């Protein structure tokens, strides 16, 4: 009588549960601590002074925080829109056609910001935009928007491309057989099916732009602080629970965005 072969299950390996718990603790304990100390009534970030919403009130009434927050949202929304549009066109151009010479090279070039250290991209953008500033005299937010757009394109491109590769082209072929022109096929068939990927790409680009520090520090002009660079400046001077409150607010907004996208994707699926 032969022995029944046991099914391999990774969760049965010795130490798997302990390692999984340790990983989650290391990932989320600092975040939980940050959120908890954002409600600290004292002026220290390390000594608990009682539960209070004082630092949320201070942050909400801080004109510098309000300006940095508005600037961050304007830059992130603009960069997400530009990056998602460019990524959608790039994804269509690299997936909705047959194999061609240089396809892998184009794919690598689109994803280049993911492979190159961010500091290298920041220095390159600084040099490029500095020459334009000298020639034009313009020093507005346009440089930050373009810099963030360039950096966010691969983050938007990956989910859009993945969605396109998983789509069945039969409906597009059927629409063409029913005498729909290419624009009608795209608008009425391809784009509706692609929207979950577009939404994912836009959300990812928005979040990446919102919390970027390195590129913003190199490209921004005077008086163009975003929330992350404002917080970095505060940490260099005096650390107060106000920074914790701002960080918690950003974390909460990110969780809301992720939840909304999950519900949207689930509904569409």
* Percentage of the chain lying above the pLDDT 90 cut: 16
What's the Cα-to-Cα distance from 2 to each of 6, 128, 165, rounded to whole Å? 12, 71, 45
* Per-residue pLDDT tens over the stretch 14-70: 777 888 899 989 988 988 888 888 888 877 777 787 888 888 888 888 888 888 889
Q: Which pTM does this prediction carry? A: 0.81
Residue 61: how many other CB atoms lie within 10 Å: 9
| Residue ranges of domains in the chain, CATH in brackets | 63-268 (1.10.3720.10)
6-20, 41-55, 76-90, 97-111: which has the highest mean pLDDT?
Answer: 76-90
Is residue 163 within 8 Å of residue 199, measured between CB atoms?
no
Banded model confidence at residue 188, pLDDT cuts 50, 70, 90: confident
* Per-residue pLDDT tens over the stretch 168-181: 777 878 888 777 88
| pLDDT tops 80 at residue 2 | no
Q: Measured in whole angstroms, how far is the alpha carbon of residue 212 from the centre of its chain?
A: 9
Higher pLDDT, 218 or 182: 218
pLDDT value at position 8? 66
| pLDDT tops 90 at residue 148 | yes
Banded model confidence at residue 265, pLDDT cuts 50, 70, 90: low
> Given the structure tokens 């959120």, which residue do they identify?
35
Is residue 83 within 8 Å of residue 205, measured between CB atoms?
yes
Distance CA 93, CA 259 (A): 31
Is residue 155 within 8 Å of residue 83, measured between CB atoms?
yes
Closest CA to 208 of 257, 164, 265: 257
Closest CA to 84 of 167, 158, 164, 187: 158
Is residue 112 within 8 Å of residue 155, measured between CB atoms?
no
Which residues are CB-neighbours of 51 under 8 A, at least 6 positions away? 39, 40, 41
HSE-up (13 A, CA, CB side) for residue 24? 5
pLDDT value at position 88? 92
Residue 88: how many other CB atoms lie within 10 Å: 22
């Amino acid at each position: 009588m032969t022995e029944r072969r046991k099914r391999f299950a990774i969760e049965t390996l010795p130490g798997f549960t302990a390692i999984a718990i340790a990983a989650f603790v290391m990932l989320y304990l600092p975040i939980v601590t940050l959120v908890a100390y954002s409600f600290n009534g004292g002026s220290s970030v390390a000594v608990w002074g009682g539960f209070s919403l004082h630092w949320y009130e201070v942050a909400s009434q801080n004109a510098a925080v309000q300006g940095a927050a508005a600037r961050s949202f304007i830059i992130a929304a603009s960069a997400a829109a530009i990056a998602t549009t460019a990524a959608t066109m790039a994804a269509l151009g690299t997936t909705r056609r047959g194999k061609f010479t240089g396809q892998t090279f184009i794919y690598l070039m689109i994803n280049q910001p993911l492979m190159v250290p961010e500091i290298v991209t920041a220095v390159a953008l600084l040099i490029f935009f500095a020459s334009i500033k000298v020639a034009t005299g313009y020093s507005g937010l346009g440089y930050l928007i373009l810099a963030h757009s360039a950096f966010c394109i691969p983050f938007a491109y990956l989910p859009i491309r993945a969605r396109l590769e998983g789509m069945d082209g039969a409906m597009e072929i059927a629409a063409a057989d029913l005498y729909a022109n290419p624009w009608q096929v795209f608008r009425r068939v391809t784009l509706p099916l692609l929207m979950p990927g577009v939404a994912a790409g836009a959300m990812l680009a928005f979040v990446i732009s919102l919390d970027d520090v390195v590129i913003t520090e190199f490209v921004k002009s005077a008086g163009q602080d975003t929330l992350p660079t404002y917080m970095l400046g505060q940490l260099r001077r005096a650390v107060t629970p106000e920074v914790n409150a701002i960080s918690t607010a950003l974390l909460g907004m990110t969780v809301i965005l992720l939840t909304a996208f999950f519900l949207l994707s689930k509904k569409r699926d």
